[in-house]
Amino acid sequence: MSGVPGNHMRRIYADNAATSFPKPPCVLEAMTRYAEELGASAGRGAYREATQTGELVTRCRHRLARLINAADARRIIFTLNCTEALNLAIRGVLSAGDHVVATRFEHNSILRPIQDLAAHGVTATFVAVDRATGAVAPNDLIDAILPQTRLIAVQHASNVTGVVQPIEPIIAAARERGVPVLLDAAQTIGHLPLDVRALGVDLLAFPGHKGLLGPLGTGGLYVGPGMEDRLRPLVCGGTGSASEQPTQPTFLPDKYESGSHNAIGLAGLSAAVDWLLSRGVDALRAHEIELCRRFLERVGGVDGVRLFGPRVPSGRVAVFSVRVDGLGPAELSALLESEFGVLTRSGIHCAPWAHETLGTAADGGTTRLSFGPFTTATDVDACVDALADVASPTATHTSNR
């Protein structure tokens, strides 16, 4: 084996689909500045520190709106993560008697809220996808729309195979039928250029800690025009506004933002989004496509390694699921870390039906490698070399061969 175990081994972070690392230095700097100089809660006082915290939160909202081309920054609703944003959208729109359409490749953050609502009179159709890539045929999803369909929920890009779904025709057809679309942008915001006005998307959920390069505990939901009349808040309480009223405010964003903000997290997220804007998502996407091309070309020539998902770089994000003959996913991840310093995620990736579709659910799922803006071509080569070494018939590691 070519790896050299030990504390001095270079460690290669290949788990950006879970959370991005490293973060731009400005993220920690902004969080430290908030902790040392402000420390207040936005909207909970008229003193300078509280006012400046409110300005910080507003600035983050405006930067996010600019990133996704939202016309009104108040339509960016802050949540603690993408899961909370998806729950707000799904539970806030659907009621007993309603029908929702999704795919069988969704993350549990879509599957579980929908399944939970089934006990409360909501019905669902989960559309099958291509077994090799996870891509949905737009017509299959559109054909699943019923008279009582009130929502289509779809993951923009798979956290298992990296496939980018063909959302444009889906959104266009749904709009013709008056059905709102919820887009789960967990794996695409910050990776792909997103224009909510050009797409015509009604709801877009996103995490702050993945492609946006912010800290954990941040995320949000974009609420398109008119959706505030259809979307119920999940939580009611103090907003720092209209405090004389015992009822929840009806104006944005306060209708959906009860309780104190994660101000220190939003300070970091704001700095991260500013970093993204300064570099341009188009440029970052070009870098990612080159990483995808390099990985696909090199891993395709490695015997004993099976890759799942699209083979065309432009049709995916840099999320790759692999299996190595004779090794379980957890064992492969352990070997990649201990012998090569490559950090991956193995298992079902919170997407059980996706792995059922791929045929990998029964034996532990896959090992996933995912790259970010700080991943280099050298890192990609090291990942492929490690996979090739582990898959070699002459490998000397302990395995279940």
Radius of gyration over every alpha carbon of the chain, rounded to an integer in angstroms: 22
Q: What is the CATH number that goes with domain 12-23+280-391?
A: 3.90.1150.10
b/e string for 6-42 if b means 16 or more Cβ within 10 A? eeeeeebbbbbbbbbeebbebbeebbeebeeebebbb
Q: Which two structure tokens, joined as six digits, stand for 271?
A: 């700095």
Q: Which two structure tokens, joined as six digits, stand for 114?
A: 């929908």
- pLDDT averages per 10-residue partition of the chain, 401 residues: 56 98 98 97 93 97 98 98 98 98 98 98 98 96 98 98 98 98 98 98 98 98 98 96 96 97 98 98 98 98 97 98 98 98 98 98 98 98 98 68 35
What is the third-level CATH fold of 25-279?
Answer: Aspartate Aminotransferase; domain 2 (3.40.640)
Yes or no: say if 309 and 163 are a contact pair by the CB < 8 Å rule. Answer: yes
Q: Where are the domains of the chain?
A: 12-23+280-391, 25-279
3-state SS string for 137-164: CHHHHHHCCCCCEEEEEEECECCCCCEE
Looking at residue 5, its pLDDT comes to 46
Please give the helix or strand (H or E) that residue 379 lies within, else none: helix 377-391
Q: Is 236 a catalytic residue?
A: no
Q: What would the pLDDT profile of 290-319 be if each residue is shown by its tens digit? A: 999 999 999 999 999 999 999 999 999 999
Looking at residue 393, its pLDDT comes to 84
Catalytic residue among 26, 82, 236, 350: 350
Q: What would the pLDDT profile of 28-70 be if each residue is shown by its tens digit? A: 999 999 999 999 999 899 999 999 999 999 999 999 999 999 9
Looking at residue 309, its pLDDT comes to 97
